[in-house]
Amino acid sequence: MIERYEFKYLIDERAAADIRRTVLSIGHRDPHAGAEGSYCIRSLYLDTPESHLFWANDRQAYERFKARLRIYPGAVTPTFFEIKRRTGDVIRKSSGGVTGDWRPLVRGDLRVAVLEKTRPALQGFVQKMLRYHLEPKQLVQYEREAFTSDIDAYARVTIDRKIVGQATHEWTLDADEQRWRPIDVGLVAWGLRESIAVLELKFERRPPRWMSTMVQRLGLERRGFSKYGHTVQTQLRHPERREPVGA
């Protein structure tokens, strides 16, 4: 179980370059980053048949949660089952890894090959899934540039780009490359003609001074942002759009 705060901002590439210089002066890149400094994340988001989790997020409910399966395309890792709970500004995330075939788990069978230390997280995931009748709704994928502070107990900075999604009702993390839809953050949220990156500042209790100074210097405005929610909204509002903004 990880408990932390997450502050989100929409930024342009000029701000991203400044943030990168700042964080690298007191920290390091995520060791899983590739040659270009980023790695790919793909998640299968679950929801109720009536999309209660989407609507709870849309109205910014004080208490809400998300349920997802996550992999890192191009890397050999378990499939992670994650519950991300929000109470106000506090984020609590539990994550359990499954090696090999994970499909028996979504049928409620915990006798799968699992990482033993994450078994309680998997049990909690299955309980949530069965209680709320959760089912597949959206595949979401993006490129993440991530950094970790060397001077704080826990402080992490991520910048996410190229966010795409596709609706699905299948228990699979395989994607149809022809069906990816860009969420067009710049167009939908700001009316701009170029995509905007999503900055997340993650920390315990209170933001480090260098984070606060960086936000003030760049004049960043904190905003709520859900990749799952914006993926759904983009598909609803712009069903005809296929090419990414700025392409």
Element holding 212 (H helix, E strand): helix 209-218
List the chain pLDDT tens, one digit each, 247 residues. 678 999 999 999 999 999 999 999 999 999 988 888 999 999 999 999 999 999 999 999 999 999 999 999 988 889 999 999 999 989 999 999 998 889 988 887 777 766 666 788 998 999 999 999 999 999 999 999 999 999 999 999 999 999 999 999 999 999 999 889 888 766 655 666 667 899 999 999 899 999 999 999 999 999 888 999 989 988 777 665 554 444 4
Element holding 87 (H helix, E strand): strand 79-87
Supply the pLDDT for residue 89: 87
Supply the pLDDT for residue 245: 44
Supply the pLDDT for residue 246: 43
Closest C-alpha among 4, 59, 27 to residue 214: 27
Taking the domains of the chain in order of start, what are their residue ranges? 2-237
Q: Which pTM does this prediction carry? A: 0.90
Contact between 226 and 57 (Cβ < 8 Å) = yes
Supply the pLDDT for residue 40: 96
Residue 202, phi then psi, degrees to nearest 5: -120, 130
Closest C-alpha among 145, 143, 148 to residue 159: 145
Supply the pLDDT for residue 185: 63
Give the C-alpha distances (Å, rounded to integers) separating 180 from 80, 122, 191, 212, 234. 22, 29, 21, 36, 12
What stretches of 99-134 adopt beta strand conformation (E)?
none
CA 117 to chain centre: 23
Supply the pLDDT for residue 215: 97
Supply the pLDDT for residue 192: 61
Pick among 3.20.100.30, 3.30.2130.10, 3.30.300.30, 2.60.40.1180: CATH of 2-237: 3.20.100.30
DSSP-derived secondary structure letter, 190: I
Q: Which two tokens stand for residue 167?
A: 């609706």
- Contact partners, residue 178, CB within 8 Å, separation at least 6: none
Place of tokens 């979401």: 140
